[in-house]
Each structure stands twice: as structure tokens, then as C-alpha cells.
Amino acid sequence: MEKFIQYMQGRNYSETTQKMYLRSINLFLEWIDKQETEITKKDVLKYLEHLKTQKNLKNVSRKMELTGMNHYFTFLYQSEQIT
């Protein structure tokens, strides 16, 4: 995660944004219990459904979670950690 933090700092994300994205990613990775290289779009959609039905998160909150994950997976792709 340290390299992802450096990535966010390089993009001048605020500390609050960095913390929010890290929290989102960590919660997702704990829930999914898979390696990043094994995660599929279907897994992400299942997680968003979980947030809606089990955690009762509204659309705006789920969108923020998705945004954090999107930045993380973009970072992994750009750094050639996933394909």
C-alpha cells in the first residue's frame, strides 16, 4: 500500500481523500479474500451489492467506495501489477 500512497501523493490527493481510498480498498480486500490479480468485475459488482443490501449504503456512498477501488486498480494496472 505504500506505493499506492506515494501514487496518491504524487497526484496531490488530500490526506482525507487518501485515508478514504485506503479505507475503501482495505475493507474490500478483507471482504473479497482474494489476491488483487484474481479479482474480477463480477467480484466488484457483488461487493457493491453487499454494500447496498447488507450495509445499507446509499448510492452516493457506494460511488465513493467504487471511486477508491477504481483509483487503486488503475494504479495496479499502470504499475503493471495486474493486466
CA distance 6 to 18: 10
The domain locations on the chain are 2-78
Say what the pLDDT of residue 31 is: 97
CATH superfamily, with its number, for domain 2-78:
Tyrosine recombinase, N-terminal domain (1.10.150.130)
Q: Average pLDDT for residues 43-66, to the nearest whole number? A: 96
- Please report which confidence band the pLDDT of residue 83 belongs to, taking 50, 70 and 90 as the band edges: confident
CA distance 52 to 77: 27
Q: Average pLDDT for residues 57-78, to the nearest whole number? A: 96
Give the phi and the psi of residue 6 in degrees, each rounded to 5: -60, -40
Question: Is 21:68 a contact under the CB 8 Å cutoff?
Answer: yes
Give pTM, 2 decimals. Answer: 0.89
| Angle subtended by helix axes 15-32 and 2-10, to nearest 10 | 140
- Quick: pLDDT tens for 4-50: 999 999 999 999 999 999 999 999 999 999 999 999 999 999 999 99
Say what the pLDDT of residue 30 is: 96
